[in-house]
Structure 1
Amino acid sequence: MPPERTQPPQRSKTPAAEELDPKESDRLARIKIQAVIDFNDRHKITYFKSDVFKFFGVSRRKGWELLHGDKYEEKKPKAGRDPRGRPPKVTRDDIAKLEDILANGDIQTSELSWSDLTELAGLTHVHWHTVRSHIHDMDYLKCLGCERAWVSKEHGRRREEWCRITISIRPHWHDWVFVRFAGEMHFGLSAQNKLRIIHEPGTRHCADHDMERETLEKDVKRFHCWAWVGYDFISELVFYEVDSRNGAMTQDIYIDKILKPHVLPAVRAEPRLVLEENGDLGHTGLKTTKFKQENGISCYSHVAKSPDLSIIENAMSEQNLNRIPPSDDETAIAAIRTSWALVTKEWVNNLVMSMPDRLHHCLLTGGQLIGS
């Protein structure tokens, strides 16, 4: 018979072994953590102290407390304004001053250095490098209350290149007869039942028109719609809803609500049609690109931040929303439709015929906006 198995003797657990005193436990953890840190430092091993804390099952805060003892103090926000996140050195009012100076475009301001521009705008609290960075990030400035505008050199080069290529493809106005300019419009209905067009970032009021500036609340009701225009053609407005507040078109909505019911039938009736659209992901994503290729929809994207080179931008900016004071969503949509109905084919045709002149103007002025 096999020998009977016996259980190994069990160690008797002492109270100290079952649960160490918290101070003793911290002391042992400190010794282990410090030993690993000293070893890595002595052998010049790259490591992170947070990884050492994690290895010994200690939180980052607790680990630093063990290493520094009473000298460690957790940085807590003081009472009042939350200090997390450094406030911008250049405020919106500062940007408005810069826009006003640059938009004037006279000889004196065109010869200003960056330091002179900074001093002229009264931004003595920032370095001119900061001002230059903000100007370059703007790309273009265009006031909604006047026609003054300014384009950065880099964006001007992009506009010139786009115009040079486009005019080589469509040098005459009749080459634009089959181009249809498409885009989205975004409207906001404020708590005071006032409709306003929500313009894209980069288009803002200059300092002279601060009194005309009206900020829309975050909880404002917003409406999003799509349209396209061309020679002897103006479409109806197509309203759509999206989850994002800025009304960015998704690929699924663009295909199901726009391309399939509106663009595709028109292209099948006239295969020579070319769709002009902006370069948003909803228009140029893999899914929409594949759909357009499979269904023979010819298209191209206009140069970004160039409302003067896209006719749909002109048509949308002409909206007069004060003809029907809206009181609710239904009357707001009615006001938008009524305003859009005022756009005439004759006016759109003149815009289409002006496309070659617009491209030449952009090339002659070094990429500046038309009307600047």
Structure 2
Amino acid sequence: MSDLTGHAFDTPRKARIKGAADFMNHKGLPYFHTELFRFNGVSKTRGWAILSQDNELFDRQHHNNEGVSKQRGRPSVLSPKDLERCDHFLQDFGWSARSLTWAQLAEELDLDVSGQTLRIHMGSMHYHKCIAYSKGWVSRNLASKRKDWAKVMLERYPECSQWRRVRFSDEVHWSVGPEGKVRIIRKPGERYCADCIQHTLNRDDEKANQRQHSWAAVGYDFKSDLNFHTTKSCNGKMSLQVYRDQILEPIVKPWLQRGDDFVLEEDNDSGHGGGATKKRNIVKIWKEQNKLEHYFNCAQSPDLAPIENCWRPPKQFMSRFPHWDEFETRELALEGWQKVSQHFINEQVDSMPRRLQDVVDLDGQMTRW
């Protein structure tokens, strides 16, 4: 077994990682997986892959092990458990996993099959490769702005604990109708892929364009409800009035009134009071009157907003079920939102210094986050 750089990891090192994690979990001792991986000199992706291996899979490499039962007949090329591991690996490790070739993915997970065989089996689970859409490109100007922004924020807030005051907020839109089961291995920052859109309904059908809009915020030891709002905009864009009247006033204001100590992170959208607008900025006025501490994230930088990672579990959950009306859509979205654990959110928040450093190291290009 080797990491993406080709360095082999010996069995004793893998055993140390698994043994240390099992001991800490058994004793209920708090620890960070990233520190465990760093101590043993493995990457985060490689470390999680090692921990995801069960004993049977771990031991099957040793053909002379008397403790491993011998099986007669030709075994299945890939078991359902192997495919489940592939699915979890692709979903959990994002771009760093999805950017691998099929052959690299098979090697990464110690699957004794060719890349072509893995591609065929994963195709049965509706996984496909596609050419990266050009929207994933980060221009030189944007890359420079991202790098400068990351440097400033990293100098001001270099410690994980300093980011635990932040509540990262965002809107998300849920399609009414089948979300579709095709999951594309894309590069980060890409939103659409023209060749991979599933046209399951007639585009003249009004239902094809119906969407439900919601807003939420997450932070360290904090997770808001999924709050639905209405907007007259055909693309779901939130206006200043909608943001003030349906989000800030009924949701954020009670946090301030009860004395919560937090800073609200928002994207620099005109509806949030940012950007250039000729209208009277009623959102900016509201924030000043209510003394709301806030900051705008760097433009076009979803990898610097941990809440972006939190939308993935509910969207994956919803893709498993058709939802033809707004009521089913909302119920599934709420049920999917419940699957986002606080432990997962805390890990994303504590990753902020690492995210910023990755942006600096990559000269402003999109990161694996």
TM-score, L = length of structure 1: 0.55
Give the Cα separation in 1 of the matches to 2:353 and 2:342: 19
After the TM superposition, which residues 59-74 of structure 1 pair with which residues of structure 2 at under 5 Å, given as runs? Answer: none
Q: Which residue of 2 aligns with 1:58?
A: none
1:275 is paired with a residue whose SS is strand
Q: Which residue of 1 aligns with 2:332?
A: 335
Q: Which residue of 2 aligns with 1:362?
A: 359
Give the Cα separation in 2 of the matches to 1:271 and 1:328: 36
Q: Which residue of 1 aligns with 2:221?
A: 232
The offset of 1:270, in angstroms, is 3.5
2:311 is paired with a residue whose SS is helix
Give the Cα separation in 2 of the matches to 1:194 and 1:309: 27
What CA deviation, in whole Å up to 9, does each residue of 1:115-164 have, x standing for no partner?
Answer: xxxxxxxxxxxxxxxxxxxxxxxxxxxx8989x95422111001011111
Q: Which residue of 1 aligns with 2:159?
A: 172
The offset of 1:225, in angstroms, is 0.6
1:313 aligned onto 2:295: no
1:151 is paired with a residue whose SS is coil
After the TM superposition, which residues 177-196 of structure 1 pair with which residues of structure 2 at under 5 Å, given as runs? Answer: 177-190=164-177
Q: Which residue of 2 aligns with 1:12?
A: none
Cα distance change on mapping 1:275 and 1:144 into 2, 3 Å: farther
Give the Cα separation in 1 of the matches to 2:252 and 2:350: 22
1:225 is paired with a residue whose SS is strand
Work out which of the residue numbers 170, 195, 198 in structure 2 matches 1:214. Answer: 198
In 1, are the aligned partners of 2:160 and 2:352 still within 8 Å (CA)? yes
Unpaired stretches in structure 2, ≥5 consecutive residues: 1-97, 101-129, 184-188, 275-280
Which amino acid is 1:300 matched to? Y
1:289 aligned onto 2:276: no
The offset of 1:193, in angstroms, is 7.5
Give the Cα separation in 2 of the matches to 1:226 and 1:214: 26
Cα distance change on mapping 1:324 and 1:153 into 2, 3 Å: same
Q: Which residue of 2 aligns with 1:268?
A: 257
1:342 is paired with a residue whose SS is coil
In 2, are the aligned partners of 1:149 and 1:371 still within 8 Å (CA)? no
Cα distance change on mapping 1:195 and 1:338 into 2, 3 Å: farther
Q: Which residue of 2 aligns with 1:347?
A: 344
Cα distance change on mapping 1:171 and 1:193 into 2, 3 Å: closer
Give the Cα separation in 2 of the matches to 1:253 and 1:195: 32
In 2, are the aligned partners of 1:194 and 1:326 still within 8 Å (CA)? no
2:236 is paired with a residue whose SS is coil
Q: Which residue of 1 aligns with 2:67?
A: none
After the TM superposition, which residues 115-264 of structure 1 pair with which residues of structure 2 at under 5 Å, given as runs? Answer: 150-190=137-177, 203-205=190-192, 210=195, 212-215=196-199, 217=203, 219=206, 220=208, 221-264=210-253
The offset of 1:364, in angstroms, is 0.9
What CA deviation, in whole Å up to 9, does each residue of 1:283-304 have, x standing for no partner?
Answer: 0162101100110100011011
Q: Which residue of 2 aligns with 1:325?
A: 322
2:336 is paired with a residue whose SS is helix
Give the Cα separation in 2 of the matches to 1:214 and 1:355: 35
Cα distance change on mapping 1:144 and 1:170 into 2, 3 Å: farther
Give the Cα separation in 2 of the matches to 1:172 and 1:328: 45
The offset of 1:168, in angstroms, is 2.1
What CA deviation, in whole Å up to 9, does each residue of 1:44-93 have, x standing for no partner?
Answer: xxxxxxxxxxxxxxxxxxxxxxxxxxxxxxxxxxxxxxxxxxxxxxxxxx
What CA deviation, in whole Å up to 9, does each residue of 1:238-297 have, x standing for no partner?
Answer: 111111111111111111111111111112334531000011111016210110011010
In 2, are the aligned partners of 1:181 and 1:229 still within 8 Å (CA)? yes
In 2, are the aligned partners of 1:193 and 1:327 still within 8 Å (CA)? no
Which amino acid is 1:281 matched to? S
User: Percent identity of the aligned residues?
Assistant: 33
Which amino acid is 1:235 matched to? S
Q: Which residue of 2 aligns with 1:301?
A: 296
Cα distance change on mapping 1:181 and 1:295 into 2, 3 Å: same
Give the Cα separation in 2 of the matches to 1:360 and 1:193: 35
The offset of 1:196, in angstroms, is 10
TM-score, L = length of structure 2: 0.55
In 1, are the aligned partners of 2:359 and 2:365 still within 8 Å (CA)? yes
Which amino acid is 2:325 matched to? D
Give the Cα separation in 1 of the matches to 2:246 and 2:191: 30
Q: Which residue of 1 aligns with 2:49?
A: none
What CA deviation, in whole Å up to 9, does each residue of 1:210-242 have, x standing for no partner?
Answer: 3x4325746322111110000011111111111
2:228 is paired with a residue whose SS is strand
1:156 is paired with a residue whose SS is helix
Give the Cα separation in 2 of the matches to 1:271 and 1:364: 35
Which amino acid is 1:303 matched to? C
